[in-house]
Amino acid sequence: MIIEPRTRGFICLTAHPTGCEQNVVDQIAYVKSKGKINGAKKVLVIGSSTGFGLASRISSAFGSDASTIGVFFDKPSTPGRTGSAGYYNTAAFEKHAHKAGLYAKSINGDAFSNEIKRKTLDMIKEDLGQVDLVIYSLASPVRTHPDTGTRYKSVLKPIGGVFSNKTVDFHTGDVTEISINPAEGDDIANTVAVMGGEDWKMWMDALKSENLLAEGATTVAYSYIGPSLTEAVYRKGTIGAAKDDLEATAFTISDALKSIGGKAYVSVNKALVTQASSAIPVIPLYISLLYKIMKAKGIHEGCIEQIQRLYSERLFNGKEMLLDDNGRIRIDDWEMREDVQEEVAKLWETASTENLFDIGDLEGYSNDFFNLFGFKVDGVDYNADVNEMVEIPSEN
Ligand code: NAD
């Protein structure tokens, strides 16, 4: 069938298998071009199908020849209906990993559930024995607690007062004022329950209790800080409360891993267009201005460049880990550079529907958004008939 993008707000309902495969191939080529990384050899990636998790899986497999197990939650293709991008990405990743002689298996299901944890532990036990790196890269709006069955919904709200600022509809370029009402009731606790550290800790406890973590095993979860411009809705908002909890959990996990010489880290990554970030008000406008400045300065990175640098210059460079005062890895260092932030703040003041195409990188934002779903990818013929039915090799 001919597959075209069908968008609804910040969601795209279709995905293109050839475009998704090309994205994966391009990321693999990037990692290979940077040379080998002396990194972990047996890797579990939780949230492995898109964004930073996919980039982590690719960096481990093609940078360090690692065996990888990926856990993700995506929609398979059915006749006449495309699968979700993460599904096609995973099929493409496995295809190319297997071609390169690498072990790669994937589990599609709810990582928050006991059932998927059990399945993953059994797979590690049978196939790898132990893992030496666990990447935790989930981004989800909901979580059903495995013990109580309570379904929590996260919200993206400021805390303490109404937040008003500019935002952009990145499809049209319309810059408007939005006001977001503050969190109320259980909003903060619910968001922490979904995006905080409890589930990460559950995974690590389960892995450790069944002796599935190798001596010296490392685990890394991803966080975000960002500038004062987005602070009210991000870092000091409900999602920020969840990130505070996630970051605190790194210390709890590190304590629990002491007996095996293991360590938990949080890496603070750069703001990037992913399915998760397009849903956050104000962030798309910030990203389109940030992209413009970082590209002009020659320091723009996507997920794969970020994670390749995280691996090669921080996690596996053989030197003492460079951490900030709160014990976090900062791979958002270029985003947060003073000169970058000063210029973004200046542009923010004047940004309007009339000038955003000039002063911001709306085109870059929009392209990245479509790329997430395999559209507008260089080298792909979108007029060609494509089979929407793709299988993930390890699932058959
Ligand atoms: P993403 O939406 O691209 O990826 C999320 C992944 O989680 C996907 O593989 C998806 O399948 C998986 N997933 C979601 N719910 C699941 C579930 N219930 N069970 C199993 N898998 C599930 O998101 P992303 O932007 O790459 O975010 C990953 C992490 O990086 C998040 O913690 C996010 O806060 C953080 N981060 C993102 C940015 C950014 O700008 N995008 C910046 C810094 C940090």
| In the chain, where the domains are located | 7-142+188-281+301-334+372-395
Nearest CA to ligand 1 atom 5: 139
Q: Of 70, 78, 77, 81, whose CA–CA distance to 24 is shortest?
A: 70
Ligand 1 centroid vs 279 CA: distance in angstroms? Answer: 12
Full pLDDT tens readout for the chain, 396 residues: 999 999 998 899 999 999 999 999 999 999 999 999 999 999 999 999 999 999 999 999 999 999 999 999 999 999 999 999 999 999 999 999 999 999 999 999 999 999 999 999 999 999 999 999 999 999 999 999 999 999 999 999 999 999 999 999 988 999 999 999 999 999 999 999 999 999 999 999 999 999 999 999 999 999 999 999 999 999 999 999 999 999 999 999 999 999 999 999 999 999 999 888 888 888 999 999 999 999 999 999 999 999 999 999 999 999 999 999 999 999 999 999 999 999 999 999 999 999 999 999 999 999 999 999 999 999 999 999 999 999 999 987
- Dist. CA 94–CA 390, nearest whole Å: 12
Burial class (CB in 10 A: 0-12, 13-18, 19+), 44: buried
Please report how many Cα atoms fall inside a 13 Å half-sphere around the Cα of residue 308, on the Cβ side.
Answer: 18
Written as one letter, the residue type at 204 is: M
Task: Give the other-Cβ count within 10 Å of 255's Cβ.
Answer: 10
Give the helix ranges, DSSP H, for the chain.
17-33, 51-64, 85-99, 114-123, 187-195, 198-209, 228-231, 238-257, 283-296, 303-310, 338-350, 356-359, 362-372
Residue among 224, 246, 290, 300 to mutate when testing ligand 1 (max atoms within 8 A of CB): 224
Beta-carbon contacts of residue 26 (< 8 Å; ≥ 6 apart) = 377
Residue 269, ligand 1, Cβ within 6 A: yes
pTM of the model: 0.98
Residue 175, ligand 1, Cβ within 6 A: no
234 assigned to active site: yes
Ligand 1 centroid vs 64 CA: distance in angstroms? Answer: 23
Asked if 39 and 308 touch (Cβ cutoff 8 Å), the reply is: no
- The topology (CATH level 3) of 7-142+188-281+301-334+372-395 is Rossmann fold (3.40.50)
pLDDT computed for residue 87 by the predictor: 98
